[in-house]
Structure 1
């Protein structure tokens, strides 16, 4: 049966809660953004559990458990056990897959995780190791171990100057060997330690278009082979819509949270609870912190976030300004100016002014201009009803969430009525 709740007070604006449970990693990828340095800091498992419980009660669609490298958490088993608190919300874990043991794999298999993400940057050790360290055999062993847990796998590739032209070779490798159901590409952002390496990593504007052209050319064939290929950074970087991948109303929840800035909150290993409306990577414009989960219940912080977002006092950067700073794109891009903006400099020079704008919410999303195939949406819901949630956003927009693939289909209320009619009342619960 479908989990459709018609009460708009149940479904909130915060759709995704990212919990950075550890601030340490066993790798030193040059594009990573931990902050100034990795320093051992962990969010206690009991606070992770409290955050998960609060997210479930608040109607959040997905909780993401990450780090750093999440398997370094001293109570990793307890963190996984906390996923059993979830009934409606999906849970995603992100790992570099280099520390997996048979015991870890068994814990993952027993958990209530909905899917697992891991990073692979190329089909050869040279490509994969160009910014991560040459450990591809170990990562592939870990990926095979993850595949054996029975959880859907998403591979994340950071595309940069050294690997982007051959990234689709990895896509076909993953599809051929059944190692993943999704392959998400993302560009490195100007954040944390990546700032020091950005000149040799950053994608230039024509390279963003080149990556998207690769995705457009191969998306349909790979989808037929069971792999969903997408480039999550194309819209925020260029402002153009990837119509070959999103010709109707569906996109990844990651893409939606990149484009709709009132959908995401983040808890840091220190306990700091942040809005993500004017942030990227680990960087903040102004002060996005609402408090600490060490001092206040997560439910209260989520409620405060919802209230701030509902009243419209939170602001975001214009898309092109965010691209200028996050990806160093455009003629006005200047790393020194960006460092001043995010407080990463010791100079007394004041931070540049940025005119923040009201957040354009999901009901004003460009994807609503795309056509809708009512029968195709209804058929998808009928074929896998237990994998979906259907919630009414406070804007009255209807979100169909594919939990196992973390895909969102966006509908107007009248369109949902048509879909519900096509499904039949016996398939929907109130």
Structure 2
């Protein structure tokens, strides 16, 4: 019996199902079904028509650079141009020989202003085209593609022309037209200002202007926004004016350090001075006007000082009217490029003054009796203080009404 039961129990264990094998088979079946379903979905998607999507290609504008150069040359640079000298000076802000001198200097020094070939072997823009594009942007202050129809120069190329032109003007002509005055120049300036304005030791006038920065980075707007002129970022240009229209920059670094012109009037001078307005600090190199004056002597000094300072106001006015780019907000992004544009405008301004010195730098005064009042600051009024005399007080209050 024992042996029979034992043999029956062994036979029952051998007939039990293998659960491990069953689990493997089920997993294999599930995996196969998922793979088949994924393959069928992919094949069905391939059978469906693809969604049409537009393919954007780079716009290629067929610009005829050679024809544009011939048109520009026939309009302004042939012996008998279509537009005469007056229109040339009006549109280029300078005479033809001076522009050709600038173009030649840039072409000799920089490879960018020479005739080259593009990637497909076509001739690139000529030096006259590139300089014309840069000067037109400086003169009119428009967008970079403003003269694309006439010069056939694209937006990016015109912007490069402006940047490289201003950088080249600063590097080539900066040492000549932004140089510091020599002792003889200081002597001549002081003699001229003493004879013309009655200020011995005066080297010129100083003032500043604000130039808007349209594309100022957001992180820098607080640094360049003062709220004095506007609520938008501005860059301050500070310059001195020696004569009627001649400007210089950088400013009196030597005078600020106490090192003035070497010898003037036969004496050693450690400090000269400039005429300034009320925004400048009380330094020995600044001679400012007198506010709310009552005495006749102070009235006379204020009137003469303000009249002599009109030269710097005129110089900034001429600079902004000649180069509109410094009057409209700057569209450039980098501070170095903005500085090059400003320096280039000042250098070109001084070059034009030197070229047309007979007509622009004449110091003959039309007022033989003396200069008049400027901005109404020297005369006592209700805005600047109440006069002491009763008759003048009544007249001042009557003017206020």
- Decide: shared fold, TM above 0.5: no
Q: Which structure features the higher share of helix residues?
A: 2
Q: Which structure features the higher share of strand residues?
A: 1
Larger RCO: 1 or 2 (CA < 8 Å, sep 6+)? 1
Larger Rg: 2
Give the TM-score normalised by structure 1: 0.19
Give the TM-score normalised by structure 2: 0.20
